[in-house]
Amino acid sequence: MKTCPYCGKQYPDDVELCPLDQHPVEGARPPIIQLPAAKRVEPARRFVLRIGLPVVAGGLLVFILIRSALWGVGYWFFERPVQEKVKSGKVIVRAIEDFRKERGRYPTQWTEFVPKYLPAMTNGFSEPDQFEFFKWSYRAMTNDGAVSYKLFYYRGHGGIGYDPPVWYEEFDGNRRTIRSGD
């Protein structure tokens, strides 16, 4: 027999709740659920899971953040100045091409197209030879009857060049194409 702790009435063993007050009768227990026994984790694996894995993950995160920051620094200190010089070089290329369209040939030296075709870059210098001050050099060339030119901006152990139609960066004899076809 089971007894209701609230009202004190007795009920047979198969009753779980008191029908009057809905309280569980004494002796009624919730069913026991058998759980599988927990596996014992050996100490080395426990160390790896609790300490080693977070340390490795944290180190990887720090590496990614530092590498991303360095790429950003690399852009601002190395790639951006190159792109700015290419942009200023395009102004010179446009002036050379305008000269060629009007006269049917490439200029042989700076004096032929500065300052008429390139007034913005001379900054008021009256002598075209002073254009060399901007570190750009221009050279007209003839290869097997084909007339072309090269433009180069000197920077340290190399510089930025234009050999139509390719812009390139050169450093200690190594050449890297920046852009092609414009």
Q: Is the pLDDT of residue 131 over 50?
A: no
- The pLDDT-based confidence of 35 (bands split at 50, 70, 90) is low
Among 39-43, 108-112, 116-120, the range with the most confident prediction by mean pLDDT is 108-112
In the predicted model, is pLDDT for residue 129 greater than 50? no
Does the structure show a pLDDT above 80 at 140?
yes
- Report the alpha-carbon distance of residue 48 to residue 8 in Å, rounded: 57
pLDDT for residue 176 is more than 80:
yes
* DSSP-assigned letter for residue 25: P
d(CA 168, CA 158): 11
Task: Say which DSSP state 18 is in.
Answer: -
Convert the pLDDT of each residue in 5-21 to its tens digit: 888 888 888 888 888 88
